[in-house]
Amino acid sequence: MKIFAIESSCDDTAAAVVEDGRRVHSSVVASQVFRHVEFGGVVPEIAGRMHCEAISDVASEALARAGMKISDIDAIAVTAYPGLIGSLLVGVSFAKGLSLTCGKPLVAVHHLRGHIAANYISHSGLEPPFLCLVVSGGHSHIVEVTDYTTMRIIGRTRDDAAGEAFDKTARTIGLPYPGGVHMDKLAENGNPDAFKFPVPKVNGSPYDFSFSGLKTAVINTIHNMQQKGIEVPREDMAASVRKSVVNILTERFLLAAKDTGQSRLVLAGGVSANSLLRRRMEELCRERGLELYYPELSLCGDNAAMIGAQGYYEYLSGNIADMSLNARAEANIEA
Ligand code: KG4
Ligand code: ZN
């Protein structure tokens, strides 16, 4: 079954053709980041307008690269939630129009379920059940995936998402938006033990995260040094922050794995591209005899191939949308 998928939840306009949830015939991503970088973050109004400008060309390009016509496609999948409402609406409206004019079924996909499904493309043998650490720019969850469309959140962030924690601390050391990837590169040449930051516990919820204390500690450390006229060693700061974020994530994720008895662990979302997170999880899983999966780098960030992969499984479970489908800024991954 061939699915034509569309993703426009934040600042990437993307389209893809994916067969049977696993085989990518084409995947096109048009990033807008060059327009948002001067503002230090995504400007929703600009994002929505740029999706409108790009979506037709991106969709045509995805079909052309797959060597297909819309008549070769069996269903249309689209990210309908969660995300920036003005961005989501562009993809959802486009997909509804396509579904109506071509008479193809429409499938609504939860963006974070899509991030998880990126792993089905990278690992053809991977099947639920597994425990997944979903870490993106807007969300951080530990999710028990019992089957392709049944999931339960067992841990979540109480404040910032992991990607936000990277982006906000990166900003304090003068790195451009989105800071996560720049911080990751800078950290490779730094001393991760140069600065000690707290690893907070969240009362009553052993699998929940909190990153706001780390952000405040980093800002205070930098201000203190600046007041004393001491230059901030950026590589050491980046390495120390990265180590703290990765420690917080891995500690909670492995505790959740132990307590739930899950031996198959999966990483997903933009932050799953982080080189220390991948390395550290490899080490910890090897020591404990756990299986570990993460997407290839090109599928960690936002893309439509992952939406096509999850769209296939949503379709198989009968989750077919109709013309009343609307975009939503918030949505629970479980529902
Ligand atoms: O999943 P994603 O592409 O978009 C959302 O759905 O939010 O995640 C974007 C986030 C950003 O915060 C970005 O800084 C972070 O993923 N990110 C990274 C790395 N690459 C992207 N964070 C840490 N290390 C990286 N290598
Ligand atoms: Zn995302």
Cα–Cα distance list, 335 to 118, 149, 152, 293 (Å): 20, 9, 9, 24
Identify the DSSP state of 129: -
Q: Check pLDDT > 90 for residue 217.
A: yes
pLDDT tier, 335 (very low <50, low <70, confident <90, very high otherwise): confident
pLDDT tier, 201 (very low <50, low <70, confident <90, very high otherwise): confident
Identify the DSSP state of 192: T
The best mutation among 29, 181, 279, 299 to test binding of ligand 1, ranked by most ligand atoms within 8 Å of the C-beta, falls on 181
Q: Which residues contact 303 (CB under 8 A, 6 or more apart)?
A: 7, 12, 14, 16, 27, 29, 118
Minimal-distance CA residue to ligand 1 atom 8: 270
In three state form, how does the secondary structure of 52-100 look? HHHHHHHHHHHHHHHCCCHHHCCEEEEEEECCCHHHHHHHHHHHHHHHH
- Are 51 and 90 spatial neighbours (Cβ–Cβ below 8 Å)? yes
Tens of pLDDT, residue by residue over 35-79, are 999 999 999 999 999 999 999 999 999 999 999 999 999 999 999
pLDDT for the residue 199: 81
Strands in 150-156's sheet, in edge-to-edge order, are 150-156, 140-147, 130-135, 264-268, 291-293
pLDDT for the residue 63: 98
Cα–Cα distance for residue pair 147/54, rounded to 1 Å: 35
pLDDT tier, 200 (very low <50, low <70, confident <90, very high otherwise): confident
Q: What is the CA radius of gyration of the chain?
A: 20
| For the CA of 111, the nearest atom of ligand 1 | 6
- Are 93 and 324 spatial neighbours (Cβ–Cβ below 8 Å)? no
pLDDT, averaged across the chain: 96
Cα–Cα distance list, 200 to 96, 102, 127, 209 (Å): 45, 52, 33, 8
Residue 71 has which token pair?
Answer: 């008549």
pTM, to two decimals: 0.97
Provide residues with CB under 6 Å of ligand 1: 10, 115, 136-138, 163, 166-167, 178-181, 184, 269-271, 273-274, 301-302
What's the CA-to-centroid distance between 266 and ligand 2, angstroms?
16
What's the CA-to-centroid distance between 273 and ligand 1, angstroms?
7
For range 239-256, the mean pLDDT: 97
Cα–Cα distance for residue pair 161/300, rounded to 1 Å: 16
pLDDT tier, 308 (very low <50, low <70, confident <90, very high otherwise): very high
| For the CA of 138, the nearest atom of ligand 1 | 7
Q: Check pLDDT > 90 for residue 193.
A: yes
What's the CA-to-centroid distance between 271 and ligand 2, angstroms?
9
Map residue 127 onto helix, strand or coil: coil
For tokens 């390009």, the residue is 61
Closest ligand (CA of 267): 1
What's the CA-to-centroid distance between 331 and ligand 2, angstroms?
14
Q: Check pLDDT > 90 for residue 284.
A: yes
| For the CA of 269, the nearest atom of ligand 1 | 1
Biggest alpha carbon–alpha carbon distance for the chain:
67
pLDDT for the residue 175: 94
Q: Chain centroid to CA 69: how far?
A: 29
For the ranges 148-157, 206-215, 315-324, which has the lowest average pLDDT?
206-215
For tokens 């071509």, the residue is 102
pLDDT for the residue 191: 98
What's the CA-to-centroid distance between 177 and ligand 1, angstroms?
10
For range 187-201, the mean pLDDT: 93
pLDDT tier, 138 (very low <50, low <70, confident <90, very high otherwise): very high
Cα–Cα distance list, 68 to 54, 141, 248, 300, 309 (Å): 20, 37, 45, 26, 18
What's the CA-to-centroid distance between 110 and ligand 2, angstroms?
10
Tens of pLDDT, residue by residue over 287-305, are 999 999 999 999 999 999 9
Q: Check pLDDT > 90 for residue 202.
A: no
Helices (H) then strands (E): counts for the chain: 10, 10
Cα–Cα distance for residue pair 164/212, rounded to 1 Å: 10
pLDDT tier, 180 (very low <50, low <70, confident <90, very high otherwise): very high
Percent of the chain with pLDDT over 90: 97
- Residue 157 CB neighbour total at 10 angstroms: 23
Q: How far apart are the first and last CA of the chain?
A: 25
- Residue 196 CB neighbour total at 10 angstroms: 11
pLDDT for the residue 170: 94
The best mutation among 88, 136, 294 to test binding of ligand 1, ranked by most ligand atoms within 8 Å of the C-beta, falls on 136
Q: Which residues contact 162 (CB under 8 A, 6 or more apart)?
A: 135, 136, 140, 209, 211, 245, 249, 269, 271
Cα–Cα distance list, 154 to 38, 209, 246 (Å): 37, 11, 19
Tens of pLDDT, residue by residue over 3-36, are 999 999 999 999 999 999 999 999 999 999 999 9
Cα–Cα distance for residue pair 3/55, rounded to 1 Å: 17
